[in-house]
Structure 1
Amino acid sequence: MEFSKSLGEAISLEQAMTYVKAHNARFPKGVKAFAFGAEHVQDVLNQEGCAGIRIYNGYNEEEDCPNIVVVGVDANGKDMTDGKIFDRGIRCPDMCDITSPLFQG
């Protein structure tokens, strides 16, 4: 199966809010979001042959909290593990946009 650069789907703000609300209802004390600087995202996307990204759920045992791991994906759907991989985003509630309609306390 080919990994398309257009894989994924744009959704409305209302649908995004529904997803976030459902997540927060299931995990009321959990991490709400992760924020990353554009440089890391661009570094992954700028790798030769990169068609997109894959985001893995992870858990940082040192800090006893969830995290995510971001890796590039090539046109064959293979993780580009020889390239840039990143995590260490800033978690919300540590840093949140409380004015965003996606932020639900």
Structure 2
Amino acid sequence: MEFSKSLGDEISLDVAVQYVKAHCGRSPKGVKAIAFGATHFQDVLSQEGCVGVRIYNGYNEEEDCPNFVVVGVDAEGKDMTGGKIFDRGVRCPDMCDIESPLFQG
């Protein structure tokens, strides 16, 4: 499969709510989401040759919690590990939009 700028699918809010609800049902006390500032994504996406991002599931053993590791990806589908890589987002339930239809209490 070729990695392109349009890889992935847009989903409806109803489907998004369904996915989040299913996750929360499987892990009711777990991390619901992790928020990142746009600057990090812009820095990754502005790297020469970057056509997208890959988000790895990670686990921060020092803080005993899940996290995401975000890295740029080139047109060949290769991780751009020589460039910017980030994590350290703010976890929900620590910071959440409780009015969002995606928030599951």
Deviation at 1:39, TM superposition (A): 0.4
CA distance in 1: counterparts of 2:75 and 2:16, whole angstroms: 27
Deviation at 1:102, TM superposition (A): 0.2
1:94 is matched with 94
Q: Does 1:26 align with 2:26?
A: yes
Unaligned segments of structure 1, at least 5 residues:
none
1:49 is matched with 49
Q: Does 1:12 align with 2:15?
A: no
CA distance in 1: counterparts of 2:64 and 2:16, whole angstroms: 27
CA distance in 1: counterparts of 2:55 and 2:30, whole angstroms: 18
2:37 is matched with 37
Unaligned segments of structure 2, at least 5 residues:
none
When normalised by structure 2's length, the TM-score is: 0.99
One-letter amino acid of the counterpart of residue 57, structure 1: N
Deviation at 1:82, TM superposition (A): 0.1
CA distance in 2: counterparts of 1:38 and 1:98, whole angstroms: 21
Deviation at 1:91, TM superposition (A): 0.2
1:79 is matched with 79
CA distance in 2: counterparts of 1:2 and 1:18, whole angstroms: 29
When normalised by structure 1's length, the TM-score is: 0.99
Deviation at 1:86, TM superposition (A): 0.1
CA distance in 1: counterparts of 2:47 and 2:4, whole angstroms: 16
Deviation at 1:83, TM superposition (A): 0.2
What's the C-alpha RMSD, in Å, of the aligned pairs?
0.5
Residues paired across the two proteins, number: 105
Aligned residue for 2:42, secondary structure, equals helix
Could you list the runs of 4 or more consecutive aligned residues of structure 1 that deviate by over 2 angstroms after TM superposition? none
